Amino acid sequence: MKPFEDSQHIDDAIFDIVDNVITSFQLVFTGQNISINFQSQPNSFLEISIGPTNAVYEGFLVSKKHIRALENLGFHLDSGADKYVYQYDLSTFKDALFIKTLLARVIYDAFVRWYPYETPNVELHRPVGHID
């Protein structure tokens, strides 16, 4: 796959989840064992998760400032599922701007800010699952 560059790809994937075309997609940090996953939930929520946590700790988030950055954005540790999770209420969805802003802040606040010379290379993997 080619490295991901935002154009309309993230918007399309988000709208495909909202429109029940796909159930999930993921952004994979190449060269790292970490991804940001977007998964529709039956209760009209979009679960945005980062994990697995061992990759988070070993790859990027090696100190409390990184974890605090995620928590300040609204993520919490789901230790049973081995990931950091953010729940977005799809009943309030109007456009992809909030989700894309959250994604940009995750990448910048939790990753790039602390590693300014190691900007991650991200690939969009979609669809992970289709709804028939």
pTM confidence score: 0.78
125 vs 95, more confident: 95
Rounded Cα gap, residues 17 and 6, in angstroms: 17
In the CATH hierarchy, which top-level class contains the domain 9-125?
alpha beta
Residues 6 or more apart whose CB falls under 8 angstroms from that of 80 comprise none
* Residue 55 reports pLDDT greater than 60: no
Q: What digits encode the pLDDT tens for the residues 13-44?
A: 999 999 989 999 988 776 666 778 999 998 89
Rounded Cα gap, residues 120 and 36, in angstroms: 12
What is residue 131's predicted lDDT score, i.e. its pLDDT? 45
**Banded pLDDT at 60 (limits 50, 70, 90):** low
- How far, in Å, are 43, 53, 110, 121 from residue 23 at the CA level? 13, 22, 26, 24
What is residue 132's predicted lDDT score, i.e. its pLDDT? 39
